[in-house]
Amino acid sequence: MRLTKTVNLTNENKHIDQNSAFPDEAALINQASEGNQHAYGQLYSHYFPKLYYSISFICKDQAEAEEIVQEAFLRVWDKREQLFLVRSFEDYVYRVAKNILFDVLRRNKVRQKVMDIIIAENQVLQEHPELQLQYKQYFNTAARAIDQLSDQKKEIFLLRTQSDKTFKEIAELVNLSVAGVKKHFYQAANQVKESLQQNDELLSAIILLGIFLKK
């Protein structure tokens, strides 16, 4: 496996001796910030093994851990012009990898929740076929409630519930502060909940969870 966007770094040199002499890191960081792929390759080769070990210790999936570390190095390279601000490359790339790891773990947790919801939903409707029409009506009610949101609230609500976007990412997309995005999201969520508050408790819970967690 290798990085494949704007810099091409093979795995052949990543398992190097961590005790071997390492060139001046500050100089390599400066050169990499100016687009020097060879300098960045040396940073990659030196720090990949330790970072991979740290991530795989938490992740437990070696292939996924390697993907996370690769993505971390790619993201750092994509924003290489900011490297001149970095004092410790190891700390910097570790923070990037850790954030990616947490996103992966969160998505995996959400996927499991979605599976639980689908199983519960199917079980309820199989055991109580008379609820199928009612379920459809409730779901349509929720859909109408979403449609009635203001354009901004609807955009934020759907970005948050139907994609992997974080509040920070949404804030950048809609040009609002993170606090502003959260405010709009929770207001929208309350509007949708209120439209279902008179419905059957179990069906309403299933519908709401489906809206909030399904991708």
Each residue of 156-198: pLDDT tens digit?
888 887 766 788 988 988 889 999 999 999 888 888 777 766 5
Contact 157, 146 (CB under 8 A): yes
CB count, 10 Å around CB of 163? 11
**3-state SS, one letter per residue, for 21-56:** CCCCHHHHHHHHHCCCHHHHHHHHHHHHHHHHHHHH
pLDDT tens track for 92-117: 999 899 888 877 776 666 555 545 55
If pLDDT is split at 50, 70 and 90, which confidence band does 210 have?
low
Confidence at residue 109, expressed as pLDDT on a 0 to 100 scale: 63
Q: How many CB atoms lie within 10 A of CB 177?
A: 11
Between residues 19 and 178, which one has the greater pLDDT? 178
d(CA 98, CA 3): 18
Residue 204 has pLDDT above 70, yes or no: no
Give the Cα-Cα-Cα angle 168, 76, 51 (nearest 5 degrees).
105
- Per-residue pLDDT tens over the stretch 137-154: 666 777 777 888 888 888
209 vs 65 pLDDT, higher one: 65
Q: What is the pLDDT of residues 119-142, one digit of tens each?
A: 565 665 566 665 566 666 666 777
What kind and span of H or E run contains 174? helix 167-174
**Model confidence at 8: pLDDT above 60:** no
**Ordered domains of the chain (ranges, CATH):** 11-103 (1.10.1740), 128-213 (1.10.10)
Q: Give the pLDDT confidence of 55-72 residue by residue, as tens digits.
A: 887 777 888 889 999 999
The span from the first CA to the last CA of the chain, in angstroms, equals 29
